[in-house]
């Protein structure tokens, strides 16, 4: 169950990171609210997962999921420049996250 909560928390990290960028310094209400809700739920989930998972592993997986999804979303929907090397590097992060799960 801790792994499921951790993955959901990682997805919420991508949500709050994206909302933070779209809030334009907290001057836009809806993205600011989405940021606040997502960051709170993401941190609660991370903290809960860390009760049973090793701190280093849980944090690395959480960051890896959040970072990968944030970059992928930005490349697909927000016009962030994409390249083969960038996609391969993000896939490397995903592979490391999967490896951490398999080693646990």
The per-residue pLDDT for range 29-84, each reduced to its tens digit, is 999 999 999 999 999 999 999 999 999 999 999 999 999 999 999 999 999 999 99
State the pLDDT at residue 4: 97
Buried b / exposed e along 88-103 (16+ C-beta atoms within 10 A):
eebeebeeebeebeee
Of 68, 78, 94, the residue nearest 31 (C-alpha): 78
Instruction: Give the residue numbers spanning the domain of 27.
Output: 2-103
State the pLDDT at residue 30: 98
Please tell me the total count of domains within the chain. Answer: 1
State the pLDDT at residue 101: 87
In whole angstroms, give the CA distance from residue 71 to residue 86: 9
In whole angstroms, give the CA distance from residue 20 to residue 35: 6
**Residue pair 34/15 in contact by the 8 Å Cβ criterion:** yes
Tokens of 93: 């992060």
pTM: predicted TM-score of the whole model, two decimal places: 0.91
């Amino acid at each position: 169950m801790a792994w499921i909560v951790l993955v959901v928390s990682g997805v919420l990290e991508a949500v709050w990171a994206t909302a933070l960028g779209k809030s334009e310094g907290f001057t836009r209400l809806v993205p600011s609210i989405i940021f606040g809700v997502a960051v709170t739920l993401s941190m609660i989930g991370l903290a809960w997962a860390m009760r049973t998972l090793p701190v280093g592993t849980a944090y690395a997986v959480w960051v890896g999921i959040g970072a990968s999804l944030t970059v992928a979303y930005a490349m697909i929907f927000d016009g962030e420049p994409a390249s083969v090397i960038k996609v391969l590097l993000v896939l490397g992060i995903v592979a490391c996250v999967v490896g951490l799960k398999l080693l646990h």
